Every structure is written in C-alpha cells, then in structure tokens.
Chains A and B, each alone.
Chain A
C-alpha cells in the first residue's frame, strides 16, 4: 500500500483503552454465559437423530404431502395461512388505537408512558400462555389460534406504528391548514398518505412472521400445522416431519417473496 495511506492510518484516533475495556466486558459476559454449553448429554444417538431428520426432509412422506383431505399437508398449510392472515388483520386493527394513544407527539407524556407499558405487558406473555387462555373461551382449534396470533402481533405492530406516527411531517398539516382544509380533509390528504405505506409494510412483515410463528400454537392445541409436526417429531416419524417441514418451507418462501416485492414497491412509492 501507498506510504500516504499508511500515514493516514497512523493518524487515526487511538482509543485502545476504551476498546480494550469493551472487549474485556464482552469477554466477561460471554465467559459467564458459556456455562449454558453442556455437551455431556450429547449421545451418538443425537447425531443419528439429526441424520434421520435430514433423511426425512429429503424423503418426505408423499402420501401426506399430496392428500387434499383435512389431514393432508395442503389443508394444514391453508389453515395455518388463514390463522396467520386473520390474526394479523385483527392484531393490526387492535394496534391502531393503542399506538395513537402511545405516540408522544399526539398525547401528553403520562398517557403515552401508560400506553407503552400496556403494550410491553401484552408482549411479555408468551404465545402458549395466551393460547391456553383462549382455549377456555373457544375450545381447542384454529379459532383459539387466530385470537392468540392477534394478541401476539399487537406488540411489534404497535411499536412500528408508533415509530411511523412519530415521524409524521407536521408541516404538511400546517400547509393544509393554511389552505383552509377541514379536519377530515387534513386526515384524508395530510395524514393517511403519510402513514398508509408504513402501516401496510408493517402489517405485511408481521404476517410473514406470524406464518412462521404459527407452529407455536400447535403446542397447546390451538390449530395450524404445529400440532401434527410436533406429534410426528415426538413419535420419531421423520418422513412425516419431512413432509410437513417441506410444505411449510415452500409456503413461507412463496409468501416471503411476494411480501418482499410488495414492500419494496411500497417503500419506493
């Protein structure tokens, strides 16, 4: 390399004390958490199982994969899709008032803090606990799953909503005011065009995530593809596991491609 470049490098600010401290801190944290590594119980059995899973994915149970009844993979995927879709829609609607009440540029600070606390509390309860709660309301099945999905979506969706609401450009509203617009017109032409792309993008992204997370619902019997998957795994029926996973992977990939396309379109306007 050139001599001038070398000189330029040497004149870079030297903050090695700070960097050393950070590195030591990180090393300390890692050393502390490395106690979670326990290889003692790793049997040869484990690797055999891993091999079986891989073999199962490459030799999926084609009967299960191509049955179009209510027990086949296509129907289960459709059910999962429907749970995720409706769950996202319901969650997105519930998040609307919550996020407007928690945006610091719209409401007084104490109200916003309470709103945020509420959202954080809703997010803390894990999906399977919600699932159990809703099963008492609706009985086991996809209905409970969709209600769980909607509550689980609220946390992230309203967090993103709040960010876009707080980024609102107020000058547009002022100029609409100056032009003599009514409140309704201000909302229609000043606020909605600013928020809609962000909101839609958030909702589509969350739908993507919900589709992936829908397996959790199977744990408590709240419908979707999770339950058959987990049953097949605990019974070591790897061909079925392979078939279900394959279906899920294909569905998620398709949805992800479509959603990425819509979202880039939204971002570019």
Chain B
C-alpha cells in the first residue's frame, strides 16, 4: 500500500453477494496540485504577464503585416536555396535512416541477447538524441565550414537518432515465430533476421523515415540561421535588412514545398501500411 492510499483510504463498497471491494481514491488531485505548482513556478520565472500581452499583442502582427504582399520579384533568387534545402533534407534523411539500421538491430533486445550491448547502444542513441539539432549544425559548421555539408550532417545525425529509436521499438514488437522457425531449420541468426524479421519491419521503417523527412524539410530551413546553408541563410539575411516582404515570399515558397512533400509522403505512407 502506497503512502497516498494510507493518507486517503480507499472507498469500500459492499456488493450484493456480500463481498467488499475497494476503489482506490483518484490520483487526480495530486497530479493537479503538482501541475499547478510547476505552472506557478514557470509563470514566476518566465515573467508571464497577460497585461503585457493584451497591451502590446497587436505588435505581434507588425512583421506579419510587413510580409504582405510578398515580394514576388524576389522569387527568382529563392529557387537555389530552396533546392539546397530539399537536397540537404533528402540526403541527410537517407544517410541517417540507413545508418540507423545496424544500431537499431543491436538495440533490439529480442534479437541481441547480450544485455550489456543492448544497454550501451541504447544509451548511445539517447545521448545522440539529446543533442539539439541546432548545436549539431553549429558544430558541423566548425568542422566542414559554412555551407550545405554542415546542414546535411546535422540532419543526418537527427534522423539517425530518431529513426534508430523508433526502429528498435518496432523490431521489438515483431512476431518472433518465423524467426524461431528459421533458426530451428538451421538458418544463422543473420539469415533468420533478414528473411523473417526484416520483411515485417520494412513498411513501418520506410514510413517512419518518410515521416522524418517531412519534418526535416522544416528543420533544414532553420539550420541556415547558423550558416548551414539553405533557406535559413536568406531568411536570416532578409530579417537583418528588414526586407519583410521578401521574407514573406520565402515563407510562402516554403509553405508550398512543405505541403507538397507532406502530401507525396502521406500518399506513399498510406500505400505502405
């Protein structure tokens, strides 16, 4: 019996059959209390103030208003960075997703029986995942110099961590029957994995990778802010010069691109599952 149950004893019911059953008190008040406390702390630390929001709220739209109408004349200069962004996300996603496969297999506890190895690989995946993409891109710009290479690298690292985690969770939920049958027939573990587990996880793996690609196009446009190439580069430039109408045009193009890519990827993912 936990402390909570001792403080608030469970309610007892007498059933018609003479048996008594206990219903534990709801944990809701405790959870609510914790949430309210954290909220109060957060309001205090971040200086959340509704008055300021009501008073100055309209200024939020200053930049938005300046973006309309978008500067269509700038369109011709957007294509190159846009293509860079798409290329960065395509290549980065591909490299990351492929690299994730061996690590995910090693992290799946139903394939690898060595507990220590599974734990180490999982710890590695977690550590890579905690590294913010932006920091990754910054480090990459120091190593590879300013440009698309740094962005590709950052996206590959992010995709690797994300797909790696998803993939090992998928591998752990597969039906192990075929795998055991293959092993019983004398196949090696690798053969059994390729023929019995791989076909089961392939559609979900592709689907996860495509989902990641969708998000990466958006991410790739931020990375330029630290000099890692792509749309972010010109966005940063236009913000610096306060040419918000050109910024508006960039955002419109980005919006259309993201919607098209999401639509294509969604169609493929629907066919996969």
Contacts and interface: CB of A to CB of B under 8 A. Distances in A.
A133 B132 contact: no
Interface string A88-114: 010000000000000000000000000
Which among B57, B142, B148, B225 has the greatest number of chain A C-beta atoms within 10 A?
A: B142
Contacts of A213: 132
B57 A125 contact: no
Contacts of B42: 81-83, 85-86, 146
A130 B145 CA distance: 28
Interface in B35-69: 38-39, 41-43, 45-49, 52-53, 56-57, 59-64
B81 to A, nearest CB: 12
B170 to A, nearest CB: 15
Nearest to B148: A36
Interface stretch (B6-14, B16-24, B88-96, B107-115): B88-96
Interface string A130-148: 0011101110011101110
Given A123-B218, A142-B45, A35 B145 contact: no
Contact of B46 (A1, A79, A121, A123): A79
A126 B187 contact: no
B264 interface: no
Interface string B122-160: 000011011110110011001111111101100000000
A3 to B, nearest CB: 11
Contacts of A143: 46-49, 52
Contacts of A126: 218, 221-222, 225, 232, 235
Contacts, number: 183
A157 interface: no
Interface string B65-76: 000000000000
Given A36-B88, A85-B42, A138 B52 contact: yes
User: Chain A at the B interface: mostly helix, strand, loop or mixed?
Assistant: helix
The interface size bin for chain A is 35 or more
A136 B60 contact: yes
Contacts of B46: 79, 82-83, 86, 141-143, 145-146, 223
16 contacts: A37-B152, A38-B145, A38-B147, A42-B143, A53-B142, A79-B45, A120-B262, A126-B235, A127-B222, A133-B64, A137-B60, A138-B49, A138-B56, A142-B47, A146-B42, A230-B138
6 smallest CB-CB distances across A and B, nearest first, come from: A41-B145, A33-B87, A82-B42, A36-B148, A46-B143, A142-B46
Interface of A: 1-2, 5, 29-30, 32-43, 46-47, 49-50, 53, 78-79, 81-83, 85-86, 89, 120-121, 123-129, 132-134, 136-138, 141-143, 145-147, 212-213, 215-216, 219, 223, 226, 229-230, 233, 245, 248-249, 252-253, 256
